[in-house]
Structure 1
Amino acid sequence: MRPHAPGHTGVEATDRALGAPPPGAADGGGPVIDSHVHFWDPRRLVYPWLAEAPPLNRPFTADDFAAAVPEPVEAVFVEAGRADDQAGQELEWVRAMARTRPWIRGAVVHVSLADIRSAASRVARHAGDPFVVGVRRNAQDEPPGYVSGPELRAGVRLLGEAGLPFDACVREHQLPELAELAEACPRTVIVLDHLGKPVPGRPGSSWRQAVARLARSGNVVCKLSGLATEAAPGTEPAVLVALLREALETFGPDRCLYGGDWPVMTLATRYATWLELVRAALAGFPADAADAVLRATAIRTYRLDRALPPGRHRTREEPA
């Protein structure tokens, strides 16, 4: 996690000025699916990174999310940076919330993939759990060489064999390593979180080259998420929309998926504003692009048509 310091970007003033289509369900007829939602409760679990983000150092639950969204939104939970040995407890807490909130479609869980011995058993267990739709090992603060290293590569290959995608949370300077990882693990779907965290308004040529290389790997998809908290205070909405459109043009709408990054995004903007910016970025694309980005790509990537409501399958306890 470890977001940048809070600072509103100025993206509140969109109000249709950028040509966004009107709000509502995705074009395919169902609600928007947010592929990147966090819940946490520091009273239950330990989140070391929250000490660096005082405005976020309180509970953010499923009910808080439901109150924050401006329209019906279904969600994919993404692990929230709790202590590594509490990953199983985090999963079961979210599973319990989902039993009475079927709009929580599944969970992307933490696994220490570079520890191949423990990773193998955990990945096998998760592969048999319809509520687990992916795995993330947050690597944004790891040293050079980690993302392309043999230990993580072995773990990511395990995910491909198990049919689980890998959520890659990395920073801009790590993108060439991620491209190496994607090329070395062609059977694993790799989900690039937050466009690789470029700096809006001044993404370097290295970002564009690395993103183009990632797009050439057919196993990589890109989340349209996280830009507001990477932007400097006062960044104009049009700057963020331009970067979103660049990602859409590079990957194609059928390989992009919407992510709110709630509640981290509250450091910089409101939920309704970010959703409107993504819709504005879709203006001018073919009619089916909105359904792909706002719903269909998430369903395909995380196999959400496979994920059952938690009450319809046996709970699998994961040891801490």
Structure 2
Amino acid sequence: MSEQVLIDSHHHFWALDGSVQYPWLEDDVDGHFFLGDYSRIRQPFLPSDLRHQIPAGYRLAGTVHCEAESARGEPEVETEWLTRLAQQQELPCALVGWAAFADPACEAQLERQMRSALFRGVRAKPVTAARPDQYQSTLGASGSLQDTGWIRGLRMLEERDLSWDLRVPAWHLADAARVLEGTPALRVILNHTGLPWDRSEPGLARWREGMRALAANPNVAVKLSELGSPMAAWHEQRNIDVLAEAIDIFGAERCIFASNFPVTGLNVSYATWLAMVEQAIADAAPDARQAILHDNAVRIYRLAGTVPASHIL
């Protein structure tokens, strides 16, 4: 039986050797981290470490690196480091950086990062509520999805044909869908299955509503990734059900596999996470395995010509 080719569309690398500064990994532990104690991942994670995670039966064809909360003053430092790393070790094949929306420096930050052939877009997180009962307190806040100055950053991405990695808890998904009406050509990749942290019935209903609102925009895709929650214990079957429902809502052609490693490793092994996604595919779209594990990521992150030709089926 031949190996299944795989693209991991969301992971993080860090060397912790001074090449790039990561305050949350190198300074005091952040007591508000959404998965609790993360001391186990405060160590280097590099291409060889990711490759060692890939289980038998799979071949890692390429990856997309997502910004890892490096020191915010000069986001191009992480982009430049990752570009050198890729030249040396063939991973990542593309990267999503960061830029300071609503800051006069944003345009220059984008232009500097666009010098890298690997740069595809930005993950800039808006201000959001940590819990659904705090939702109202963030509406209209500086840096929120209602901040017109912050939203200018989305227009800058649209103008440059860059994508936006959207990462908000489920109770902000509908807000994001409304905001995206102002940038109809912007390509958007929703992170972490829409972060359905609230697993109560009302919480899941709100997640479904927001997911459907985003799925109505044909330029939005979703990463089948990270279902750890600060509000619910890890439950493998329930998480598989959420993944399958996300595939149903978005359609298999707009879903891509992602590991969020090493962060997801706080809850589950790489092999187990991949097996969970495989089960969700089998449940919801059994004919779409190749598309979700590989082909969709090539299209959505424009990897043709970046992933080595010998790695693509």
Q: TM-score, normalised by structure 2?
A: 0.82
Q: Which residue of 2 aligns with 1:72?
A: 59
User: 2:228, 2:234 within 8 Å by CA — same for their partners in 1?
Assistant: no
Which structure 1 residue ranges, 5 or more long, are not aligned? 1-21, 26-30, 310-320
User: 2:74, 2:109 within 8 Å by CA — same for their partners in 1?
Assistant: no
**Aligned-residue RMSD, C-alpha:** 2.3
The amino acid across from 1:92 in the alignment is: E
**Deviation sequence 1:135-183 (CA, Å, 0-9, x none):** 1113365743302321222111111121111001111222122112222
SS in 1 for 2:70: coil
Aligned residues with identical type, % of pairs: 30
Q: Which residue of 2 aligns with 1:40?
A: 14
Report the more deviating stretch, 214-223 or 192-201. Answer: 192-201
User: 1:229, 1:268 within 8 Å by CA — same for their partners in 2?
Assistant: no
Q: Give the distance between the partners of 1:96 and 1:23, measured in 2 at CA.
A: 32
Instruction: Note the 1:171-320 alignment, pairs <5 A.
Output: 171-199=169-197, 201-202=199-200, 203-228=203-228, 232-233=232-233, 235=235, 237-286=236-285, 288-307=287-306
SS in 1 for 2:165: strand
User: 1:79, 1:136 within 8 Å by CA — same for their partners in 2?
Assistant: yes
Q: Give the distance between the partners of 2:2 and 2:208, measured in 1 at CA.
A: 30
SS in 1 for 2:93: strand
User: 1:114, 1:155 within 8 Å by CA — same for their partners in 2?
Assistant: yes
Q: Which residue of 1 aligns with 2:89?
A: 101
Distance 1:266 1:200, change over 3 A: farther
Distance 1:287 1:182, change over 3 A: same
**Deviation sequence 1:175-234 (CA, Å, 0-9, x none):** 122112222211111111012210374343211111111111112111100114567445
Q: Which residue of 1 aligns with 2:159?
A: 161
Give the CA deviation at 1:104. 2.0
Q: Give the distance between the partners of 1:86 and 1:270, measured in 2 at CA.
A: 33
Number of corresponding residues: 281
Q: Give the distance between the partners of 2:40 and 2:207, measured in 1 at CA.
A: 30
Higher-RCO chain (CA-CA 8 Å, sequence separation at least 6): 1
SS in 2 for 1:227: coil
Report the more deviating stretch, 208-217 or 196-205. Answer: 196-205
2:54 aligned with 1:57:
no
Q: Give the distance between the partners of 1:282 and 1:108, measured in 2 at CA.
A: 26
User: 2:198, 2:204 within 8 Å by CA — same for their partners in 1?
Assistant: no
Distance 1:46 1:130, change over 3 A: closer
User: 1:182, 1:219 within 8 Å by CA — same for their partners in 2?
Assistant: no
Which structure 2 residue ranges, 5 or more long, are not aligned? 31-37, 130-137, 309-313
Q: TM-score, normalised by structure 1?
A: 0.80
